[in-house]
C-alpha cells in the first residue's frame, strides 16, 4: 500500500470495523471502570456505519468520502467518543477535499486535522487523559515520517507505536473530561478508554497498510 | 432485571410510541423520527426552546415539552445522547424565526452533539444559543462549577426560560433568564440502589443492603461519601449543608425547593425529607416560595433522592409562578 | 429495609409534617390532629367530600384533598384504617350544612370505622352518605362485585364527585355521580416486588427474581396467577382482557384510562404498557378520551402497575374534564 | 368472684391486657397467613388502652364504663378486629347501663349484646369464619349456665370451652369477610385469627374469675 485510493480505503475501513468488533468486550470493560460501559457498543456501531458508507460509496474525492463517513458516525453513535471520532473524520476529510490518492504527506495532513478537530470539539489539549493523548503523538510521528519521505506502511507503523506509547502515558494522567473526571485523583493509574480507541484506529490503519505492503 | 418491557432494544421507541399515543393532541414528532419530539401547537415569533438527552430519566427530558416550558426534545437511547442530526431536526421544526435556545445537562456527549447541531443550524440560518445546566455540587468543587453535572435543577431552568419565551421576549432575553436560573440553582443527591440499563441487563454499580452513597449522579457517577444508611434527618443534613454553603444561600434569601425522587423512592419518604429541609431553612431565615416534591429527573428504578434549591429574585419568582401544562407537569398560576 | 426515614413509629406523622410544611396554603388540619387533613379554604353550601385510609399509598388518600376534588381525609398508620373519631373530626370540619359524602376503598377496617363515624355524625346532626369504591376485578368474580378491593380507580370517583360538588349540587346528586363513576370503573394490577411496612421491617410476601403476580392487591393480597415475568405486551393482555370483559367495555364505548405505577416502576415502563393498551382499545373500537399515566395509588416501594378503565357518558366526561388542583394532582380544564 | 364489681372488672382487664401482651407474636403469625400480620399489635394496643381506661376510672356504672372502654379501643386500634371489639364493648356496655354489679345473668346479657353488635357491624352471621364463631357458642353456653344458675366462674369456664370449640370449628369454614376472603377455598383448613381473639377474651375472663374463686 504505497498510496491510498478508494480501494485501499475500503480495506482500511473493513479492518477498522473488524478490529472494533473484536475489541467490543474489551472496550466495554475498560469504559466500565470509570465510565458507563458503552464504548465497545458505540465503537462497533460507529465503525460498522463507517464501513458501510465507505464500501457502498463510489465517491472518488476521498476528502468528501471521509467527511461523509464522519457524518454517518455522528448519526450512528452519538456518544462522546462517537461524536469525537465523527468530528475527526469530518475535519480530516475536509482537509483532504479534492484528493483522490493519499500519500504519507496527505495522511499526515488528514490526521493533523483529525486530531485538531477533536481537540477543538472536546475543548482539550494533550495531557488530559483523552483520545488526544494517543492521536497527538501518533500524528507527530506521522508528520515526522512524512517529512522523512517514509512509505505509508512504515509511517503508519511508527504512528501506531507512538499511539501505543500515548496510551501508556495516559495512565499516569488525571482525567479532566467526561465521566472519568468525577473520579479526580482516583483516575490516576487507570488506562483511558478513549486513548485506547485512538490507538486502535492507528492499529487498523497500520495493519491494513502492512498486510499486503 | 425486573422490568415490564418487551425487547430491550425497543425500550426507547416503544416508550415513545406510548407517550405519543397517550398525548396525541399535545405532542408530535419532527422529521418522521420518533426521537424528535415537539409540541403540537406553534406560537409565531416565539423563541423556540429545545432540550435533549438520554432516555431513562422521565419526566426528563421530553416530559417538559408543552405549554409554558419547552418546544422540542431530541431523545437518545437509555443514558445516551441523541444525535446532532436529531437535534437539528428538532431545531428546524420549532424555529419560528426568533431563534432557538438549547438547554441541556452538562454531559460530554450531549455537549459535543449540541455543539455540532448548533453549527449545522447556523448553516440553516437559524440563530441558536445555549445554556448548559450543571448544578450538582457533589460533582466538582466550588470554583470548578463548569465541570458540574446537570441533574434535577434543570427543571427550574426550563421553567424560567419557558415562561420568558411566552412573553415573546428575544432570544437574548430568554437566554439571560435561563442562565440566571442555572446560576442560582444547586443540587445534591443520594442513591440507595442502582438501576439497570435495559440493553445492559445488570446494574452498573452495587451498594450493599445497608449502604447509601451521598452525592451519586443520576447515572451512578461517584458521589462524595459511601457508607451505612443513616436516618433521613442525617441524610438531609449531609445533602443540604454543602448546597447551602455553595451558592451560598443565607438569611433573607427566598428560595424554591425541589425534592426529587430518583425512581423507586416513595413520596412518603420525600416528604419526610422535606420536613427536615423545612426546619433547616426556617432556622437559617431562608423563606420558601414554593416546594416541588415528586419525580422530576429519575434514573428508572433507582432508589434515592435529590434536593435542589433555587435562589429567587423578583424576576425568577414571577417566571416560576407562571402556569405550565405539559403531559408530565402541570402548574396553575401561583399567587405571588 | 432501605428507606429514607427516621424512627419507623414516626413514619406517618413525620410524613404529614412534611406535607403540611410543603403545602401550607393548601392544607391544614382539624381537631389539632395531624391525621385529620382538610382543605385550607371553604366553599359555603358545598357538599363536603371526605375520604380516609391507611398510609403508604401516596398520593392516595390525602393527596386528592384540594380544589375540585376532596375536602378532607383522615389518615391511618401504614396500611391501617384511621379511627372513627378522626373520621368524625374531619366530617365536622368540612361540613358546610350541605352534608358530607364519604368515598373510600372496600376494606373491612375502613368500612367498620366509616360506619361508626357515620353514626356519630348523625348524632352531631350531619347528614352523611357513603360510596365505597371496589373495582379490582382480580379480587372477586363477577356477580360478587361488592367484595372487590378498591384500588387506583377511586381516583375517578373522587374526580367525578369533586367536580359535581363544585356546582353546589345536593348530597344526593354528588353521591349519584360518585356511584356512577364507581360502577363504571374496573382495574387489574400486577406486582413484581413487595414493599415493606416500616414498623414491620420485612416484606409481607416474596416473589422470586423472575416472578410476577397478576391481580395482586396493593397490600400484597393474593392475585390470580403467579408465574415467570412475561413481556410487557403479554402482561397487558392478561390484565386488560378480564377488565374489558367484566363491565364489559366494547365497540363504540368511550373511556378514560389510568395506568398507575405502584411505586418503584419507572414511567418509561408505564408508557410501554400504555402502547399496548392503546393498540388493543383501538382494535376493539373503544375510543380514549383521556389518559392518566403516573402514580395515583401506590404501595410505597412496590414494583408493579395497574390498568383502570372508566366508561364515560356525557356527564362523567364533563365532570372528568373540570380543572382540579391539589398538592398531588393538577389538571386544567380538558377540552371536550 | 361471685359477682363482678368495679374491682373485679379491674382484675379482668388486667388479665386481658397481659394475655394479649403474651399472645402478641402468636397473633401476628396467625394473621400473617392470610392477613396483614397486624393483629398481635392491634390487640395489644386495644387492650392496653382498655385496661388504662378501666384502671383509672372511678365510674360505678359498669355499663357506662364498658361503653367508654369500647370507645377508647376504637381510637387506639382502628383495625377490623379493633373496631369490632370496640363495638362489642360499646354495645355490651350499653345493654348494662345503670348496672353496678354483674351476676352471671348480666354477663350473658353483656356478651349477647357484644356478639350481636359485632354481627351487625360486620354484617355477618355465625359460620363465616370470623370472631363471631368463637363469640356465638360462648354466649350460648353463658346463657345456658346463667339460666341454670351457675356461678360466674363456672359459667365463664363453660363459655371459654365453647369458644375453644368455636375456634376449632372455624378451621373448616370458608372465609367470607376481610383479607382472608380473597383466598376463597384456600382459606379452608386455616385457623381464623379473629375467632382466636374471641377465645382469648373468654380465656382472660374465665381465668380472672377462677383464679381466686
Ligand atoms: N472533552 C473531551 N475531549 C476529548 N476526549 C474526551 C473528552 N471527554 C471524554 N473524552 C474521551 O472519551 C472517552 C469516553 O468516551 P465515551 O465512552 O463515548 O463517553 P460517554 O459514554 O461518557 O459519552 C474518554 O475515555 C476520553 O478519552
Ligand atoms: N365483617 C366481619 N365481621 C366479623 N369479623 C370479621 C369481619 N371481617 C373480618 N373479621 C375478623 O377479623 C379478623 C382479622 O382482623 P384484623 O387483623 O384486624 O383485620 P385487618 O388487619 O385486615 O383490618 C379475621 O380473622 C376475622 O375473624
Ligand atoms: Mg462511555
Ligand atoms: Mg455513554
Ligand atoms: Mg390484620
Ligand atoms: Mg390491618
CATH number of the domain enclosing B209: 3.30.1180.20
Q: Do both B92 and B17 map to the same domain?
A: yes
Q: Is D192 near ligand 2, meaning CB less than 6 Å away? A: yes
Residue pointed to by grid coordinates 478490529:
A19
Q: Between D41, D42, D182, which is nearest C221 by CB?
A: D182
Q: Is residue B330 part of a domain?
A: no
Taking contacts as CB-CB distances below 8 angstroms, the residues of chain D near C113 are: 74, 78, 83
- Does some domain include residue B33? yes
Cα dihedral A79→A85→A91→A97 (10° resolution):
-120
At the second CATH level, the architecture of D6-211 is Alpha Horseshoe (1.25)
Type and span of the H or E element at B311: strand B303-311
Option in C19, C235, C330 nearest B331 (CB):
C330
Digit-coded pLDDT (tens) for C221-252:
889 999 999 999 999 999 999 999 999 999 99
Quick one: pLDDT band at residue B205, thresholds 50, 70, 90?
Answer: confident
| Percent of chain C surpassing pLDDT 70 | 100
Same domain, C219 and C288: yes
Of B78, B256, B283, B93, the C-alpha closest to B181 is B256
C171 and C26 in a common domain = yes
Looking from the CA of residue D198, the nearest atom of ligand 2 is 27
D36, D177, D181 ranked by CB distance to C204: nearest: D36
**Residue C179 sits in the same domain as residue C189:** no
Same domain, B287 and B215: yes
Please check whether residues C169 and C199 belong to one and the same domain.
no
Pairing of strands B27-30, B33-39: antiparallel
β-strand pairing of C185-193 with C211-214? antiparallel
Same domain? C219 vs C169: no
Is there a cis peptide before residue C59, judged by omega within 30 degrees of 0?
yes
Non-local (6+) Cβ contacts of D74 within 8 A are C83, C84, C85, C113, C116, D82, D83, D86, D87, D90
Q: What does the pLDDT look like over B49-87, one tens digit per residue?
A: 999 999 999 999 999 999 999 999 999 999 999 999 999
Q: Which of B83, B105, B132 to probe by mutation at the A interface, max A CB count within 10 Å?
A: B83
Tell me the C-alpha distance between A139 and A137, whole Å: 5
What ipTM score was computed for the predicted complex, to two decimals? 0.94
If we measure between CA atoms, which residue out of B259, B269, B256 comes closest to residue B316? B256
CA C170 to centroid of chain Cα atoms: 23
Strand C211-214 and strand C254-261: the pairing is unpaired
What are phi and psi for residue A41, nearest 5 degrees?
Answer: -70, -45
Instruction: Report yes or no: B79 at the A interface, CB cutoff 8 Å.
Output: yes
Q: Looking at residue B45, what DSSP letter applies?
A: T
pLDDT tier at B1, thresholds 50, 70, 90: confident
Nearest by CB: C109 against D83, D181, D182: D83
- DSSP bridge partners of C33: C30
What is the full per-residue pLDDT of chain D (213 aa) written as tens digits?
Answer: 889 999 999 999 999 999 999 999 999 999 999 998 899 999 999 999 999 999 999 899 999 999 999 999 999 999 999 999 999 999 999 999 999 999 999 999 999 999 999 999 999 999 999 999 999 999 999 999 999 999 999 999 999 999 999 999 999 999 999 999 989 899 999 999 999 999 999 999 999 999 975
The CATH number of whichever domain residue B163 belongs to comes to: 3.40.50.10440
Give the Cα separation of A149 and A138 in Å (integer).
Answer: 16
CB pairs A-B closer than 8 Å? 67
Top mutation candidate among C78, C80, C108, C199 for ligand 2, by most atoms within 8 Å of CB = C108
**Whether pTM exceeds 0.80:** yes
Instruction: Note whether A touches D: 3 CB pairs or more under 8 A.
Output: no
Q: Which residues of A touch B120 (CB under 8 A)?
A: none
| Bridge partner list, C308 | C187, C258
* Chain D nearest CA to C2, separation (Å): 20
Pick the more confident residue, A182 or B37.
Answer: B37
Radius of gyration of chain D (CA): 16
Q: Quote the ligand 1 centre to B121 CA distance (angstroms).
A: 24
Minimal-distance CA residue of chain B relative to C272: B15
Domain residue limits at C307? 185-313
Mean pLDDT, rounded, of chain B: 97
**Is any atom of ligand 2 closer than 6 Å to the C-beta of D35?**
yes
Q: How many helices (H) and strands (E) does chain B have?
A: 8, 14
Q: What distance in Å separates the CA atoms of residue B83 and residue B191, rounded to the nearest whole number?
A: 29
Rg, chain B, Cα only: 19
Same domain, B179 and B195: no
Per the CB < 8 A criterion, the answer to whether B157 and B103 are in contact is yes
pLDDT of residue C220: 87
C310: its cell numbers: 372508566
Subunits next to B (3 or more Cβ pairs <8 Å) are A, C
Does residue B331 lie in a domain region?
Answer: no
- What atom in ligand 1 is closest to the CA of residue A179? 22
Distance in angstroms (rounded) separating the CA atoms of residues C315 and C210: 44
Catalytic residue positions of C, numbered: 57, 219
The total domain count for chain B is 2
Is residue B219 annotated as part of the catalytic site, yes or no? yes
Residue numbers of chain A with a pLDDT score lower than 70 = 213
pLDDT over threshold 90, residue B314: yes
Q: Is B293 helix (H, G, I), strand (E, B) or coil?
A: strand
For range B159-186, the mean pLDDT: 98
Q: Where are the beta strands (DSSP E) in chain C?
A: 27-30, 33-39, 48-55, 72-78, 100-105, 128-133, 185-193, 211-214, 225-228, 254-261, 287-294, 303-311, 324-325, 330-331
Q: Which of C2, C59, C291, C296 best probes binding to B when mutated, by most B CB atoms within 10 angstroms?
A: C2
Query: Which residue's CA lies nearest to atom 15 of ligand 1?
Result: A81
Judging contacts by C-beta atoms under 8 Å, the chain B residues touching residue A87 are: 112, 116
pLDDT at residue C202 is higher than 90: no
- Tell whether B25 and B163 lie within a shared domain: yes
**Which residues have CB under 8 Å from B299's CB, separation 6+?**
B56, B57, B195, B218, B219, B220, B262, B263
Residue B153 shares a structural domain with residue B272: no
User: B200 falls in which pLDDT band (50, 70, 90)?
Assistant: confident
Sign of the torsion angle spanned by Cα atoms B63, B66, B70, B76: positive
Residue D1: the pLDDT is: 82
Pair C68, C139 in one domain: yes
Q: Are residues B113 and B246 in the same domain?
A: no
Peptide bond into C144 cis (omega under 30): no
Region C133-150: mean pLDDT is: 95
Q: What is the pLDDT of residue C254?
A: 98
**Residue B54 touches partner A, C-beta closer than 8 Å:** no
Task: Name C75's Cβ contacts closer than 8 Å, sequence gap at least 6.
Answer: C12, C16, C34, C35, C36, C37, C52, C53, C55, C61, C62, C82, C86
* B-C contacts (CB, under 8 Å): 173
Q: What is the pLDDT of residue B323?
A: 98
- Is B112's CB within 8 Å of A36's CB? no
Per domain, the residue ranges of chain D are 6-211
The reply to whether C195 falls in a domain is yes
C53 vs B contacts (CB less than 8 Å): none
Amino acid at each position: 500500500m504505497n498510496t491510498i485510493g478508494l480501494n485501499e480505503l475500503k480495506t482500511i475501513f473493513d479492518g477498522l470495523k473488524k478490529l472494533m468488533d473484536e475489541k467490543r468486550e474489551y472496550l466495554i470493560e475498560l469504559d466500565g471502570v470509570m465510565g458507563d460501559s458503552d464504548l465497545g457498543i458505540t465503537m462497533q456501531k460507529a465503525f460498522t456505519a463507517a464501513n458501510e458508507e465507505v464500501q457502498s460509496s463510489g465517491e472518488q474525492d476521498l476528502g468528501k468520502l471521509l467527511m461523509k463517513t464522519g457524518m454517518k458516525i455522528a448519526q450512528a453513535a452519538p456518544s462522546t467518543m462517537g461524536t469525537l471520532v465523527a468530528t475527526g473524520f469530518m475535519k480530516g476529510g475536509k482537509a483532504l477535499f479534492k484528493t483522490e490518492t493519499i500519500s504519507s504527506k496527505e495522511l499526515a495532513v488528514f490526521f493533523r486535522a483529525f486530531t485538531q478537530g477533536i481537540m477543538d470539539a472536546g475543548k482539550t489539549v494533550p495531557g488530559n487523559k483523552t483520545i488526544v493523548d494517543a492521536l497527538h503523538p501518533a500524528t507527530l510521528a506521522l508528520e515526522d515520517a512524512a517529512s522523512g519521505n517514509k512509505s505509508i506502511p512504515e509511517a503508519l507503523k511508527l504512528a501506531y507505536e507512538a499511539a501505543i506509547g500515548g496510551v501508556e502515558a495516559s495512565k499516569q494522567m488525571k482525567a479532566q473530561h467526561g465521566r472519568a473526571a468525577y473520579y479526580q485523583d482516583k483516575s490516576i493509574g487507570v488506562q483511558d478508554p478513549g486513548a485506547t480507541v485512538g490507538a486502535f484506529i492507528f492499529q487498523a490503519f497500520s495493519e491494513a497498510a502492512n498486510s499486503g505492503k | 432485571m425486573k422490568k415490564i418491557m418487551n425487547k430491550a432494544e425497543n425500550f426507547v421507541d416503544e416508550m415513545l410510541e406510548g407517550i405519543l399515543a397517550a398525548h396525541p393532541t399535545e405532542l408530535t414528532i419532527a422529521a418522521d423520527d420518533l426521537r424528535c419530539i415537539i409540541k403540537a401547537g406553534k406560537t409565531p415569533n416565539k423563541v423556540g426552546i429545545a432540550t435533549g438527552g438520554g432516555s431513562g430519566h422521565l419526566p426528563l427530558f421530553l416530559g417538559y415539552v408543552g405549554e409554558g416550558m419547552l418546544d422540542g426534545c431530541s431523545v437518545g437511547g437509555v443514558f445516551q445522547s441523541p444525535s446532532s442530526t436529531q437535534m437539528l431536526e428538532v431545531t428546524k421544526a420549532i424555529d419560528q424565526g426568533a431563534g432557538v435556545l438549547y438547554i441541556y445537562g452538562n454531559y460530554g456527549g450531549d455537549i459535543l452533539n449540541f455543539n455540532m447541531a448548533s453549527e449545522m443550524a447556523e448553516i440553516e440560518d437559524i440563530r441558536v444559543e445555549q445554556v448548559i445546566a450543571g448544578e450538582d455540587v457533589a460533582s466538582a468543587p466550588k470554583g470548578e462549577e463548569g465541570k458540574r453535572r446537570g441533574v434535577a435543577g434543570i427543571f427550574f431552568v426550563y421553567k424560567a426560560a419557558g415562561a420568558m419565551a411566552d412573553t415573546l421576549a428575544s432570544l437574548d432575553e430568554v437566554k439571560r433568564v435561563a442562565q440566571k436560573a442555572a446560576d442560582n440553582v444547586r443540587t445534591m443527591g443520594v442513591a440507595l440502589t442502582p438501576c439497570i440499563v435495559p440493553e445492559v441487563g445488570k446494574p452498573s454499580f452495587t451498594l450493599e443492603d445497608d449502604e447509601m452513597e451521598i452525592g451519586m449522579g443520576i447515572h451512578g457517577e461517584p458521589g462524595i461519601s459511601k457508607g451505612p444508611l443513616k436516618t433521613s434527618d442525617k441524610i438531609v443534613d449531609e445533602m443540604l449543608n454543602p448546597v447551602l454553603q455553595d451558592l451560598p444561600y443565607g438569611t433573607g434569601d427566598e428560595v424554591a425547593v425541589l425534592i426529587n425522587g430518583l425512581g423507586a423512592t416513595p413520596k412518603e419518604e420525600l416528604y419526610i425529607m422535606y420536613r427536615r429541609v423545612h426546619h433547616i431553612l426556617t432556622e437559617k431565615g431562608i423563606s420558601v416560595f414554593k416546594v416541588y416534591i415528586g419525580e422530576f429527573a429519575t434514573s428508572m428504578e433507582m432508589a434515592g433522592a435529590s434536593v435542589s434549591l433555587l435562589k429567587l429574585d423578583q424576576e425568577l419568582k414571577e417566571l416560576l409562578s407562571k402556569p405550565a401544562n405539559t403531559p408530565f407537569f402541570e402548574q396553575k398560576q401561583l399567587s405571588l
